[in-house]
Chain A
Amino acid sequence: MAVDNDTDRRALSDAAAVASRTLTGQPLVHLGLVTAILLMASPLLLAFVMSTQTIPEVYDITNLGIGSDGLSNYVEVLTTYELLGYMVNSLVMSIVVTVGKLAVSLFAALALVYYDFRFKNAVFFLILFTLMFPVPVRIVPLYELMVAWGWSNTLLALTGPYLASATAVFLLRQHFSSIPDSMVEAARLDDVGPLTFLVRVLVPMSRGMITGLGVITFIYAWNQYLWPLIVISDQNKQVVQVGMKYLQSVGNAGQTDWGLIMAGAVLTLLPPLVALIAFRRPLLETFGLQT
Chain B
Amino acid sequence: MTGIKLTNLKKEFGDVTAVNGVDLAVHEGEFLVLVGPSGCGKSTTLRLLAGLESATSGTVTINDSDVTDAEPGERDVAMVFQNYALYPHMTARRNMTFGLKTATDFSSTQVDERVAEAAETLDITDLLDRKPAALSGGEKQRVAIGRALVRDPEVFLMDEPLSNLDAKLRVQMRAELAQLHAKLQTTTLYVTHDQVEAMTLGDRVAVMDDGAIKQVAPPQELYDRPSTRFVAEFIGSPGMNTVGATLDRLGDRLVVSWADVGVELPADDVPEETVGERVVFGVRPEDIHRDPDGPLSLSVTVTEPLGDSLLVRGTTGGRELEVSLPPRAGVRAGDEISLAVDGDRLHLFDAETGAAVYHSMSSSAAQNPDATEPPTVTGQ
Contact = CB atoms under 8 A, between A and B. Distances in A.
Contacts of B151: 190
Interface in B47-91: 50-52, 71-75, 77-79, 81-85, 87-90
B103 interface: yes
B99 A190 contact: yes
Contacts of B90: 204
Interface string A174-216: 0000001011011111111100100011001101000000000
B73 A191 contact: yes
A180 B82 CA distance: 11
Contact of A191 (B50, B52, B74, B84): B74
A191 B98 contact: no
Nearest to B81: A182
A114 to B, nearest CB: 13
How many chain A residues sit at the interface, stated as a range, is: 10 to 19
Contacts of A180: 83, 85
B100 interface: yes
Contacts of A205: 87-89
B380 interface: no
23 contacts: A180-B85, A182-B81, A182-B84, A182-B85, A183-B85, A185-B50, A185-B81, A187-B99, A188-B52, A189-B50, A189-B72, A189-B73, A189-B75, A189-B78, A190-B99, A190-B100, A191-B72, A191-B73, A192-B73, A196-B102, A204-B87, A205-B87, A205-B88
Contacts of B88: 205
A103 to B, nearest CB: 20
Interface in B145-185: 147, 151
A50 to B, nearest CB: 47
Given A180-B83, A182-B85, A185-B81, A190 B98 contact: yes
Contacts, number: 66
How many chain B residues sit at the interface, stated as a range, is: 20 to 34
Contact of B73 (A183, A190, A200, A207): A190
B165 to A, nearest CB: 16
A193 B99 CA distance: 9
A188 B73 contact: yes
B85 A185 contact: yes
Nearest to B74: A191
B102 A191 contact: yes
A189 B87 contact: no
Contact of A201 (B50, B79, B87, B102): B87
A63 to B, nearest CB: 55
B91 to A, nearest CB: 12
A191 B71 contact: yes
A80 to B, nearest CB: 49
A175 to B, nearest CB: 13
A39 B185 CA distance: 74
A204 B50 contact: no
A191 B51 CA distance: 12
